[in-house]
Structure formats: structure tokens, C-alpha cells
Structure 1
């Protein structure tokens, strides 16, 4: 069976020889795993699974035992991965929503599962957003374990001048994925090309396409969540990367009803904006001064945000007892993580300016390292970083990336030629 998969993948690559004239990723000098695929969503997912099946299978085992069962045990239960999987697949409608609302993402994920000869439902669980995973654990155990790992969250800064946009981003994800960081260049039959910075077996992480449309994603510390009538956020990650304009991606996000509250920074050459999505109406946040920073607190959703900002900036003016009664007991515990996020955002605003659109990647990297958004690797960290610097100009998209924090690895370079 494995031989058959390899033969099919080889034939797919040979049949795509005309597309390959556009230029392959250089796989000889990089710190990442590399993958280049062609064709339909299903074919590209299948080739992903077939070519990276060893890495996916090993990572899936770590996911089951080092992540899910560890979380369930940390919550004081004897529940197993099978209980988590059963709840997600049968007690929520997220798996059903995947097929109903996201046919291309369904095809990508189904292709990965088939190409790697792995269970489709396992691959779906494996693709679940960090926050959604913890909320399924909370639904099973009544304990919010995200409060114990509040420091592991993403940070973003971008600057633009009408001619180009530069984006610096630290993408934090669970550490059991370390070693599976993947640069996946995707070629679709309609001419769309995507630089997808993700992990083996996961359909999208962060990235940009040859229409100059890209995104980064951020938790928002919101208390709201949904396990029914809600779209898994990984579907929207992928849909943004397949969008041909920022407007198309924005319109999609404005209509979504998403399981996990996530702030998307949506960008193209002309600028960056934020859309805060979740199990509530999407909120749109603009940045009028040619610069935007985003960490992990929501700017516009709910009254939840304003009291936290007041608590951070003027804690003596907040009656904590009233706040706790109003926002649930666990809400007060989020104050530490929210304060940390707010301080990161203020520090980024203090050190960067819109003039940084002219700076080189090396200068931006060093400036980033002087802020609280820089989190040096530590053995006790529950998360790993995946950092990128993206430049969108009139003709090219250029990305400098490292499979860890900026102090651990050199920057690898990737680019796309824009469709005019």
C-alpha cells in the first residue's frame, strides 16, 4: 500500500512538469521540512500525507499521549484520547461543519489522511486550534488549563507606506509539534500559489499567497466559546490563504461563526487590519496610522476587554470583587495573561514605528528581540515559536522565516512573484 502511495505521488509530480517551470523551492539549504504540491485541494493534501507520512504519524502519537492525555490527566481525570475524540466528533458539530461549509479544506484534510494512511477523524482532531483543544478539555473536565500556560501566545507588528507592507510575527504553538515545522508551497490549477508556514499534517498555519494576501492569527483571551453551530478556526486559516484579495478574505471572516475567539491580522501591500472572530458577530478593527500591533487581547469584542484594560492601567480603581462576580471566577485569573499581552502590545508600539517599513529583516529581528514579544526558548515552556518577517511589494512577496524564536536559528528566505 505504501509503495502504491509513493508511485501515485511520483506520477502526480511528473504530470505537473509544466507548472514546475515556475521554479521549485530550494530544499538543499533550509532548516525547515519542505513540500511543494500541485493540482486540486485533495491531490495536494494526498501528496502532503504521502510524502510526510512518517513525520505525521510520529507527531500524531505525541499529540495523543504527550498532549491530549497529558492535559486530561493534568485536569485530574483518567480520561483518554478516545474520550476526547468521541466528544469532539459526536458531541460537537465541528466535524460536520468542516464538510458542509469548507469543501476545499475538507478535501485537503481528507487527502492528508488518505495519503498518510491515517484515520480522517484523527487528522481532524490533530488540526484543531490550540484554544479549541483546551476548551474541549474544559468541557470534559470543567477545568480551564489555558490559565496555566498564559505566556505562550502570538505577537504581530506591521508597517506600510502604500508601496509595501512589512510584517513581523511570532507564531506560538504547542511544543509537541517541534521538529515538524513545514514550508508548504501550494500550486493550484487556477494559478494561485501559497507559501504556507505550517506543520506536517496541518492544513494551514500562517502565510501569504501570490495575490499578496496573508494573515497571522492570535488568541484573544475571550471567555466565550462554542462547540455547536461553530466553524473550526483552522478552516478560516486555510480559506484566507486561498483568497484572491483582502476584501474576499474580509467578507468571509465577517460572516463566520467560529468556535474559538481569534483575532486575524489580515494584510496585503496596502496595509493591515484586524478581524476579531468567534461565537459572536465579527468585529473589524482598522489601523489608520500605517502601523498595527496585535497580541492577545481583544480590542472590540464584549465589555470584557474594557475592564481588563482598566485593571492593567489603573488597578486601584477596579473593585475586583464586583469584577469577579460579573465575569465569573476564572475571569479574574485571566487578568495576568491579559496584562502580559497588553504590556507586550505597548512595548511593540514603543519600539516600532511606521518608518520601520524601510528597515531590513535583520534590523527588524534585532528590534523584536528587545521587546517582551521575544520569548527565548526554555525547557519548561509548553510552546514553541515559529517566526516570520514578510515583505509585500509591487512585484514580489518575500518571507524570511525561522522554525524557532529569532535567537535560535538563522533566517531562511522564500519568495513569490505576484499576479498582476
Structure 2
């Protein structure tokens, strides 16, 4: 019997976050912009932010065999993202300061929470990256969809959160998957613009570029297609990353690196896109991966990595039907074709990572998302929509 997904709006103690047996999706509503938004976030989630920073440091020290505070200091010797953040998303830099002040945590500790992919790039371990993304364009009167299994490290289990940002004069209402202290993992706005992401650690990175979380928030902060597409192609990307972007009924997939942004178009009859954690079209790769990655045989790359197993499982499901529904995507996200390398990942404790949450975004005239806390085969998806415009 699948566990019931409990949706809870009230605040509760950090201890509730830590119990996997009572895994819950916390929903939080925030208003305002910039520093005030961050201050609200930090103040209302003070205990939870302290708990996840502590968990992150414990995990980092264990994984890297070095005190986490020293790791943070070394990381910021490499990381020089503030100039790009202030250029492209200055209000988000102020939001991070607000989270820090509200939570009583140091700016650096909160900042590193928001540099998830950039820290993974710094660690540079190809085996520590998972996520499976899907996209279906609108067709024959059916809406478009984008979807993702967001796979994170085990210590994040119990911190699942859906953050609702109330609309302002200059910002649409937004639904954002995240955890306390973090500005975004993926998200959807009330205008039907959403984005899902997959780490591509093999691609070249830029220590002076714009980090992934900030790119996500910039994308879902607009209702303009041309602005979104211009931004994703022009911004300097800090990390190798795949972006599946839904714009009302249209779906785009871009592999972004420090020096290149390449659109991935599988040219399937049903227009679908799908991605895991290896580059398919972007050749701006790191030298170590160029030596590691063999040339495709007869046009097909048959590497048996976790990413390749998941890619083939998703490809099979996304290309066999002309019309796909949200149920088709949920079936793909719950799949376990390869027992050792499934799309849907259980938190086994002794292995890296699990499916932190699963999200299906429906890009209909009235957009909404469906979401689970934890692996999607352990919970039912819950539908969450936007408020009415006055």
C-alpha cells in the first residue's frame, strides 16, 4: 500500500523534518521581494535551516574526509559567483542575505546551500549525480507537460518543501520545489512557464557564471517566451546543466556549459524530450571526460552507467506512444527497469542519493503541478494549483 502523502501548511519543529517514517511535503507561502522575502523565509524556517545546514556539514565532512568549514572556505576560494548574481538577479542576492539574517546562520553557510550544483561541480565526482527529466509539448488539444524526479543526497530526506511565492506587480505567482534555506530546485509560474534541471558535470563550468538556482528563479519570474529563450542562451552558466523549459504548450531542452548552449531535439514523432545526467549534444566537455567517454558505436552510446540506464528506460516510455498524458509521465517517473539503476530511487542510506521529490507540471490554460515528497512509487501525487487573479 502506498504511503499517503501528507500536505501540511502550518509550521512545525525541525524534528518533524528528520523522521523518514513521517516524510511530509511542507508548504510555505511567502510574499514580498528581495531582502524582505528572504527575511521572511529565514525567520519562519529558522530551526529547519539550522537543521539542514548541520546535516549538510555532517554529510560533507563524512564524504570528503575533511572538516566542512574548511571545505566551505576552500570552495569559496574557487567560487566567484556574486558578480554574475548581482548582474542578472540582484534581488535574489538580497534574498540570500535576508535568509541568512532571518535564520541567524552565516551568509556563507546559507549561500553554499544555494550553490548545490556548483558545489557538486567543485567536488567533481561523476557518480554523485542523478535526476531524470521529461517534456511533452501540447498536441491535438492536449496540454504540454514537463516533469522530473529530483534526486538529492540522503541527508535531505525529510526536508521536502513546496514554496509558494505570492504574485506582485512585477512577479507572477510561483510554485517552487525546494528545501529550507534554498531558493529553488525547479519551479512553475501561473503563466505556464516552468523549468526542470539535470546536472551535467561532464560539461565545462565557469566559476564566474550564474548558478543554477538563480537561473531557475529568473526563468519562472517572467511571462515572456522571447525573454526566457534569450536569457538561457546569453547568460554565463556557472555549471554544466540541462534545462527542460516549458512555455505554455511549448517545450525546449538546452544543454548549457561555460562556453556553449545547445538545444537538444530528439525529433520524436510526438515531440517529446527527455534527459538524465550525460551530455547528448553539447561538446564543450571537460578534458577528463573526453578521455573517459568512448565514441558512439553505430550511432548509439551503450555505456552502462546509471545515467545511461535511466535514459534508455525513459526513452522507451516517451517514444512508444503518439500521445502522452500526465499518467504516462508518472509511470515513467515510477519506473524501475534496472534494479540497480532505476529512474525512481529509494533512500537506501548506504548509497548516494534518492528521489527527494517528483514533480509533473501541466502547462494548460490553468497551469498546475502534481508532486510527491520522496520517491513517487512510495506516495500518491498531490495536485496543487495557483490562486485566482483578482
TM class, shorter-chain normalised? Answer: 0.7 to 0.9
Q: 1:39-79, CA deviations, whole angstroms, 9 ceiling, x for partnerless residues?
A: 22322221111111111001101111222x22321xxxxx4
Is the Cα–Cα contact under 8 Å of residues 209 and 258 in structure 2 kept in the other structure? Answer: yes
Give 2:353's aligned residue.
Answer: 383
Q: Which residue number in structure 1 is paired with residue 32 of structure 2?
A: 39
**Which residue, out of 86, 94, 114, partners 2:81?**
94
Please say if 1:70 is aligned against 2:62: yes
Give the equivalent residue in structure 2 for 1:7. none
Task: Indicate the residue corresponding to 2:67 in structure 1.
Answer: 80
Shift, 1:414, TM fit: 0.4
| In 2, Cα distance between equivalents of 1:126 and 1:34 | 19
Q: How has the CA–CA distance of structure 1 residues 188 and 45 changed in structure 2, closer, same or farther, with 3 Å as cutoff?
A: farther
Residues 1:297 and 2:302 are matched in the alignment = no
Structure 1: any 5+ residue segments left out of the alignment?
Answer: 1-24, 74-78, 138-143, 317-334
Bigger mean CA offset, 39-48 vs 363-372 = 363-372
Q: Name whichever of 92-101 and 245-254 sits farther off.
A: 92-101
Tell me the distance in 1 between the aligned counterparts of 2:47 and 2:166. 23
Match for 1:401 among 361, 371, 386? 371
Equivalent in 127, 131, 137 of residue 160 of structure 1 = 137
Report deviation, 1:119. 1.2
- SS in structure 2 of the partner of residue 408 of structure 1: coil
Paired with 2:31 and 2:63, the residues of 1 have a C-alpha distance of: 37
TM-score for both structures, normalised by structure 2: 0.82
Normalising to structure 1: TM-score of the pair?
A: 0.76
Distance 1:187 1:357, change over 3 A: farther
Q: Is the 8 A contact 1:273 1:287 kept in 2?
A: no
Distance of 2:332 and 2:256 partners within structure 1: 30
**CA separation in 2, counterparts of 1:53 and 1:368?**
33
CA contact (8 A) 2:249 2:364 kept: no
State yes or no: 1:124 paired with 2:127.
Answer: no
1:330 corresponds to which residue? none
**Structure-1 separation of matches of 2:280 and 2:214:** 23
Residue 18 of structure 2: aligned partner: none
Measure, in 2, the Cα distance between the counterparts of 1:173 and 1:373.
Answer: 13
Deviation digits for residues 314-358 of structure 1, max 9, x if unmatched? 789xxxxxxxxxxxxxxxxxx653xx3233223222223485755
- 1 or 2, which has the higher helix percentage? 1
* Equivalent residues in 2 for 1:180-199, closer than 5 Å: 180-190=159-169, 192-199=172-179
- Number of equivalences: 356
CA contact (8 A) 2:135 2:272 kept: yes
Instruction: Report SS of the residue matched to 2:197.
Output: strand
| CA gap 1:37/1:309 in 2 versus in 1, 3 angstroms | farther
- Alpha-carbon spacing, 1:403–1:412, altered in 2? closer, same or farther (3 Å): same
Q: CA deviation at 1:35?
A: 0.6
Secondary structure, counterpart of 2:260 in structure 1: strand
Compute the displacement of 1:312 (Å): 9.6
Aligned runs of 1:107-122 on 2, under 5 Å? 107-122=94-109
In the alignment, does 2:162 pair up with 1:176? Answer: no
Q: Kindly tell me: are residues 262 and 180 of structure 1, through their superposed partners in 2, closer, same or farther at Cα, counting changes over 3 Å? A: same
Distance change in 2, residues 1:110/1:277 (3 Å):
same
The alpha carbon displacement at 1:168 in A equals: 2.9
Residue 169 of structure 1 aligns to a residue whose secondary structure is strand
Secondary structure (helix, strand or coil) at the match of 2:112 reads helix
Once the two structures are superposed, what CA deviation does each residue of 1:237-262 show, in whole Å capped at 9, x if it has no partner? 22112122333222111112222100
Q: 1:326-341, aligned counterparts within 5 Å?
A: 336-337=304-305, 340-341=306-307
Match of 1:136 in 2: 122
Secondary structure class of the residue paired with 1:280: coil
Cα RMSD (Å): 2.9
Shift of the 134–159 alpha-carbon distance from structure 1 to 2, 3 Å rule, reads: closer
Unaligned runs of 5+ in 2: 1-6, 11-22
CA shift in 2, pair 1:399/1:223, >3 Å: closer
Structure with bigger gyration radius: 1
Query: What corresponds to 2:51 in structure 1?
Result: 58
Structure 1 CA distance for aligned equivalents of residues 122 and 105 of structure 2: 22
**Counterpart of 1:217 in 2: which secondary structure?**
strand
Counterpart CA distance in 2 for 1:245 and 1:300 is 26
